[in-house]
Structure 1
Amino acid sequence: MARRKDTFWQRHKYKLNGLVLILPFWFLYQQLTPVFPDAWASQQVGPYEITLMPADMEQPYAHHDDYVKDFTLTFSSGRIDSIRQGFVSIGPEPLPLSRLQQGDTGILHGNRHSQHVHAIAPKQIGAGDKLWLRIQDWQGEQFVASWPLPEVLISKG
């Protein structure tokens, strides 16, 4: 019979196995109890009353060669099914509709309860930037609104 050498690793390697079994429950708890920032002020955008809520208060992240920031939009009034297309971007002025239609970033998507968007953003958010929402209805009418960005999102560097 082979003799096992009683080393530190041999005495404690099973504790590592226990940790590997416990960690998924910690991460599951974190995923099931998210903490979101407060919603921003509601605005009337044409026939729609919209409340905006960011997913987090971090800088934009890289997503398919673009920088984006995630937001949820809830509609208090107005019919969502009357929206043909909607886009959200961050910058000093709203992007033109022709530029927004070129890619798949910045498009509102979701259901009648809320819409989600990966807003087109610069790598670093500047002091003169705002969040811009552009909505086009089925009659071709466009509505544009902006929200000021909180100081927490503005890049210091």
Structure 2
Amino acid sequence: MARLKSTWWQRYKYLLHASILILPFWFLYQSMILIFPDSWGEQTMGEFTLAPMPLNMAPPYSHHGEYVKDFMVMFNKGKIADVRQGYMNIGPTPLPLSQLSKADEGILHGTRHGQHVHAIAPKLITSKDKAWITLQTWQGELLVQSWEIPSQFIN
């Protein structure tokens, strides 16, 4: 049976359905075009040369009850296979290895092309804070290095 009276919903429901079909393509485009902040520069730690790069300009966020900031750490020199464990934190001093190894946050993980890390961070980053990377080799050697935090990340 044909409807004698056309309602607003009957006239425009197809436009709503079409817009819903277009949205996935918009989100796919946004996910393919990524722009990352600049790397914070290379520094040498023993036989390794590392360069941390934040994944975004956002402040630290809460992740499982701790505040973290996402980074990619590139090993430009040295083999990742020579690293037993690696951690990253942001603060005035590096966290001790005994404290870092108790939780999941702050662990470097990934491939030889780049290590991802949820760096342990305070809720607000201040000018007194630095980014610290702590590495332990299979020989038990402990390597610690710091990076100054650029002013655009300081609250």
* TM-score, length of structure 1 as denominator length: 0.94
Q: What displacement does 1:61 show?
A: 1.0
How many residues align structurally?
155
How far apart in 2 are the matches of 1:64 and 1:128? Answer: 25
Q: Deviations over 1:85-108 (max 9, x none)?
A: 000000011101111011011001
Structure 1 segments (4+ residues) deviating >2 Å: 1-10
Q: What displacement does 1:3 show?
A: 3.4
The residue that corresponds to 2:109 in the other structure is 109
Unmatched runs of 5 consecutive residues or more in structure 2:
none
5-14 or 81-90: bigger deviation:
5-14
How far apart in 2 are the matches of 1:106 and 1:58? Answer: 17
**DSSP 3-state at the match of 1:11:** helix
How far apart in 2 are the matches of 1:106 and 1:77? Answer: 21
Q: What displacement does 1:4 show?
A: 4.2
Matches within 5 A, 1:111-150: 111-150=111-150
* TM-score, length of structure 2 as denominator length: 0.95
| Sequence identity percentage | 55
RMSD between superposed Cα atoms in Å: 1.2
Q: Deviations over 1:32-65 (max 9, x none)?
A: 2211111111111111011111100110111111
